[in-house]
Amino acid sequence: MHKINTVLRYCYASWANSKLILNQCPNKNRILVYFDLIVCFLRYGADFTDYSAFEFWEKNSKERSSYITLRRNDRLRFNLSTPSVYSLFLDKAALNKRFSKFVSRGWMTTSDHSIEDLKCFINKYDSVIAKPLCDFGGHGVFEISKIKDDYNVKLDRLRQVVKLGQSYIIEEKIVNCNELKTIAPYSLNTLRFVTVLDKEKKLHIIAALLRMGTGTSITDNYSEGGIACPVNIEMGKLCGAAYDINCAKYEIHPYSKIQFAGFQIPNFNKCIEAITEIAYIEPGARYVGWDIALTPGGIELLEGNIPPGQDLTQIATGCGIWYKMLNWI
């Protein structure tokens, strides 16, 4: 019954989504796109985001079947991580402790701490970032800064968090190295590396992307208006265009006007070395999207995501990698 309801809800939503697809392919017939969305959902486990990101309307069945879709990504999560490892990666504080060698920023959770304790911690720094402890996608993130006019407003927001018993992590705000600041100065721009440990525990770095904010937002998150550009893993340079969650294409950054193609990521070889070491710290996590920041002090691990988003990963690789992944499971 649950599966039937899921299909019915998807059929209902697909009519509205078919209109959005026509913005990308205006020459298509809406009714045909509508039924094609449903077919792709049933046959390949592809949701609207997959259909849009991978431009399924242009692909034949063989090409479509080569992609990791939403449903297939969930399958990979179950096959390539244990429940205990998955729980570890959902908890930002536990993750910071497990990977402490690569976490140098100060941090504190709201659990078991009074607002006075938290204020003492916050006052050590010019700015801190408050995030839900076990959420993702950039939702609920806000900055508390002593040097901004809204300091007391944001402190009141934190008081509400504590009063409601919500679990948050408060972290020292870190900043980009100068090279990455130039491309998007207001957000912390991060590198996403997608890694797989195969059956023989051999590491494969299958994708790398630079994630950036687009204006004055503090977050680079894809689901919160950020954009992402693939990185050539061999050369450490941005390649091609950046994309947002709606698959809009950007050849240059909309704020700084810097061209993406050919932009060199600083110290990229050191990033590869760090990711190689990080990926083996928790070998039970075989399929992960790692977010790191390049700061004036070096490389800082921010998060590990299980599973990594299938859309960003395959936009970066430029092709479907489902069959390759099956060989590694």
- Catalogue all structural domains in the chain, each as residue range(s) with its CATH number: 2-65 (no CATH), 77-102+176-328 (3.30.470.20), 107-172 (3.30.1490.20)
Report, as an integer, the average pLDDT of 229-250. 88
Can you give the pLDDT at residue 258?
Answer: 93
Can you give the pLDDT at residue 92?
Answer: 93
Three-state helix/strand/coil letters over the chain: CHHHHHHHHHHHHHHHHHHHHCCCCCCCCHHHHHHHHHHHHHHHCCCHHHHHHCCHHHCCHHHHCCCCCHHHHHHHHHHHCCHHHHHHHHCHHHHHHHCHHHCCCCEEECCCCCHHHHHHHHCCCCEEEEEECCCCCCCCCEEEECCCCCHHHHHHHHHHHHHCCCCEEEEECCCCCHHHHHHCCCCCCEEEEEEEECCCCCEEEEEEEEEECCCCCCCCCHHHCCEEEEEECCCCEECCCEECCCCCEECECCCCCCECCCCECCCHHHHHHHHHHHHHHCCCCCEEEEEEEEECCEEEEEEEECCCCHHHHHHHHCCCCHHHHHHHC
Give the pLDDT confidence of 174-205 residue by residue, as tens digits. Answer: 999 999 999 988 889 999 999 999 999 999 99
pLDDT of 12 over the 70 cut: yes
Give the pLDDT confidence of 58-88 residue by residue, as tens digits. Answer: 999 999 999 999 999 999 999 999 999 999 9
- Per-residue confidence band for 329, with pLDDT thresholds at 50, 70 and 90: confident
Decide which of 15 and 316 is more confident.
15
Can you give the pLDDT at residue 114?
Answer: 87
Report, as an integer, the average pLDDT of 277-300. 96
Q: Which of 123-137, 209-223, 234-248, 305-319 has the lowest mean pLDDT?
A: 209-223
Give the pLDDT confidence of 108-133 residue by residue, as tens digits. Answer: 999 878 889 999 999 999 999 999 98
pTM, full prediction: 0.90
Can you give the pLDDT at residue 2?
Answer: 61
Can you give the pLDDT at residue 111?
Answer: 86
- Per-residue confidence band for 16, with pLDDT thresholds at 50, 70 and 90: confident
pLDDT of 6 over the 90 cut: no
